Chains A and B, each alone.
Chain A
Amino acid sequence: MRNPRLYPLLATIAIFIIAYAICYLQFPYILSTRVAGNLLTDNAYLGIVAVGMTIVILSGGIDLSVGSVIAFSGVFIAVMLRDSGLHPLAVFALLLVITTAFGAAMGWLIYRLAMPAFIVTLAGMFLVRGVAYMMSIDSIPIDHPFFTSLQRVYWLMPGKGRLTLIGVVMLLAFVVGHIIAHRTRFGANVFALGGGEQTARLMGSRVGRTTVMIYAFSGLMAGLGGIVFALYTGSGYPLATVGTELTAIATVVIGGTLLTGGAGYVFGTLFGVLTMGLIQTYIVFDGTLSSWWTRIAIGVLLLAFIVLQKGLLRLTTARSAA
């Protein structure tokens, strides 16, 4: 491998494989398709949101509103299915339009007001969470027949593992995210913006349009993540997924994307999500560790990855200078 930009991605994949091997030595059953299927299902909403977050971070921005958007989506779906009589698919479409428009509005504010993305999306986080509270403060069950039939869709893998619909949606989201980030003109603009707004403008990239599209895409992904989360939990709850935006940012960083923007791979984030899921699975398998060890482990992992990235970056710059 000549390309030093691939190193963080390779390191992520290597650490995931090593971690899986260690878990396998202790609990052989962890290599079954059942566990693998659950790994995809349990982390589906996180993965989808992380795809949007990867694009945002590649552009050098940040989106703190996604956790609230997921909670809002769940409440919106539950309330609409209960009160309006619309078909779930129509509700999904309406929801995605709303969250995409919301993301676009935040992107527009960020560009137009020249405000830091951190502050604008922070206000957006409060706003969306507040709207979710206004729609309901209780958890609402969703029992539409079409909706519950979607929850039961799965393909039986060899070894009786279940590849659920939402797991497949997450994998598709990563494929689409990869194509958008690495194979389209929009993706090139995202990387250019991540390299520096001034340089992107001088290169002729339309910074305003790109910024709006980036946050619109993140809003779309958060809405999709919300649908998946509603399918996963079968309810809408305005207090759900508090802090998911930070977990998503952590997975993106563990996945090898530089938080300064301009370098990274969408597929790295998939391994970031799977590594986090693996830690949680391990703690469940072990049974004696308390759940708070998950957070400490994720923090330590985050630290290790960033230091690793720093070291690699220093190594490559030293080599190119020599």
Chain B
Amino acid sequence: MPAAVKRILPQLITLLGVMVLVSLVFPDFLSIDYSDGRLVGPVIDVLKRGAPVALLAVGMTLVVATGGIDLSVGTLMAITGAVAAAAIVAGHGLVLAIVLALAAGLCAGGFSGFLVAVVGIQPIVATLILMISGRGIAQLITEGRILTFNMPGFAFLGSGTLLGVPVPVWIWLAVTALAIVIVRRTALGLLIESVGINRRASALAGVNARVILIAVYMASGLCAALAGIITTADIRGADANNAGLWLELDAILATVLGGNSLRGGRFSISAAVIGALIIQTINTGILLAGFPSEYNLVIKAVLVILILVVQSPSLAGDLKRLGSQLSRRAPRRSAKAAPQRSDR
């Protein structure tokens, strides 16, 4: 599939660039060892720690493709983690805990989707409601404490190893592959894109835009629930205040780094997941390079702005225009005047 490779090429190049950059300041970045039946190394660490954002990015890409945005996913991680932990503490067992957490994610996503698709509220506000009140709900479930539990089976989901690779990596790989198969091997991806480009036109063409919209928010809620389960299992406790804090922003960033337009339309799940890996590589790289931790945010922000500027469609147009003008040896003044023209 050369077209699919071409689509994710910019993201792959960016990821490679970031990895080279990290390798320059931390030469051992690419080394992978095998000990105690599992792979260890910075790259494996990136893959494992990137799991929550990669999962969120899968759901976020689908929502963004419809022209929406889901601000509630970070909070949903806290809610679903709290649900799972509460179920375990109450002695309901592994399966029921996971089922309840996933159901909570689906319900919350369905709520946001209902507000967007049926009531007609803007996605950013509809999901803001859960984002603001969600941590309150999570605290209601945990009764304001950090619910800790001891269940090896559940903890395995967060910190276990399968075939030498951490379980969270398997989970996000499986979810990504599953999502890609579902949207690309059926017409679903096409329908999502059509709703994102023009909801009214697609509705007139016979697409049930309402159901599609609710479905993508539910998918996003499901991904958030999985991310919440992994985070909770990893620390063996539900922290209503800090679980998934600001991860919705990372997920949106990953989606945008993946070249998906926030205005909706064509989307690429794999590119968004690579975007999540780019973010995690930056995060891990800053730590490995030994910068004082207070520099993290600034370095991250500068790198993100750089990547965004390079990917900006209008900048690409400007460079092209500038290039063609230079090749025609036009006077420099017209190149300067060009941006102002659109201003008036």
Q: Mark A254-275, 1 if CB is under 8 A from B, else 0.
A: 0000011000000000000000
**In this assembly, does A312 line the interface, its C-beta being within 8 Å of a C-beta of chain B?**
no
Using CB atoms, name the residue of chain A closest to B135: A295
In Å, the complex CA distance between A258 and B242 comes to: 31
Q: Mark A183-222, 1 if CB is under 8 A from B, else 0.
A: 0000000000000000000000011110000000000000
Asked whether, in the complex, the Cβ of B308 is within 8 Å of the Cβ of A118, the reply is no
Asked whether, in the complex, the Cβ of B252 is within 8 Å of the Cβ of A119, the reply is yes
For B119, give its contact among A208, A290, A302, A310 (CB under 8 Å). Answer: A310
Tell me the minimal C-beta distance from A319 to chain B in angstroms: 18
Given contacts A310-B119, A310-B121, contact A137 B132 (CB under 8 A): no
- List A residues 227-281 near B (Cβ within 8 Å): 246-247, 249-250, 253, 259-260
Tell me the minimal C-beta distance from A286 to chain B in angstroms: 16
Report B-chain residues with C-beta under 8 Å of the C-beta of A124.
Answer: 301
In Å, the complex CA distance between A114 and B144 comes to: 43
Q: Mark A118-153, 1 if CB is under 8 A from B, else 0.
A: 111011111101110110010000000000000000
Tell me the minimal C-beta distance from A71 to chain B in angstroms: 11
Tell me the minimal C-beta distance from A208 to chain B in angstroms: 4
Given contacts A122-B253, A123-B305, A206-B344, contact A112 B298 (CB under 8 A): no
Tell me the minimal C-beta distance from B297 to chain A in angstroms: 3
For A302, give its contact among B129, B313, B315, B342 (CB under 8 Å). Answer: B129
Given contacts A123-B301, A130-B301, contact A292 B136 (CB under 8 A): yes
Asked whether, in the complex, the Cβ of B140 is within 8 Å of the Cβ of A296, the reply is yes
Q: Mark B267-298, 1 if CB is under 8 A from A, else 0.
A: 00000000000000000000000000011111
Give the size range of A's interface with the partner: 35 or more
Q: How many A-B residue pairs have CB under 8 A?
A: 124
Report B-chain residues with C-beta under 8 Å of the C-beta of A77.
Answer: none
Asked whether, in the complex, the Cβ of A113 is within 8 Å of the Cβ of B309, the reply is yes
Using CB atoms, name the residue of chain B closest to A295: B136
Asked whether, in the complex, the Cβ of A292 is within 8 Å of the Cβ of B119, the reply is no
Report A-chain residues with C-beta under 8 Å of the C-beta of B262.
Answer: 116, 118-119
In Å, the complex CA distance between A212 and B51 comes to: 38
**In this assembly, does A62 line the interface, its C-beta being within 8 Å of a C-beta of chain B?**
yes
Report A-chain residues with C-beta under 8 Å of the C-beta of B120.
Answer: 310
**In this assembly, does B12 line the interface, its C-beta being within 8 Å of a C-beta of chain A?**
no
Report A-chain residues with C-beta under 8 Å of the C-beta of B43.
Answer: none
Using CB atoms, name the residue of chain A closest to B256: A119
Report A-chain residues with C-beta under 8 Å of the C-beta of B134.
Answer: 299
Report A-chain residues with C-beta under 8 Å of the C-beta of B301.
Answer: 123-124, 126-127, 130
Interface residues of B (CB under 8 A from A): 69, 115, 119-122, 124-126, 128-137, 139-140, 144, 249, 252-253, 256, 262-263, 294-302, 304-305, 308-309, 312-315, 339, 342-344
A sample of 29 cross-chain residue pairs with beta-carbon separation below 8 angstroms, ordered by A number, consists of A113-B314, A113-B315, A114-B312, A118-B69, A122-B249, A123-B308, A126-B300, A126-B301, A126-B304, A129-B297, A130-B294, A130-B298, A131-B298, A133-B297, A134-B294, A209-B343, A246-B131, A246-B132, A249-B128, A259-B125, A292-B136, A292-B144, A295-B135, A299-B130, A302-B132, A302-B133, A303-B115, A303-B129, A306-B129
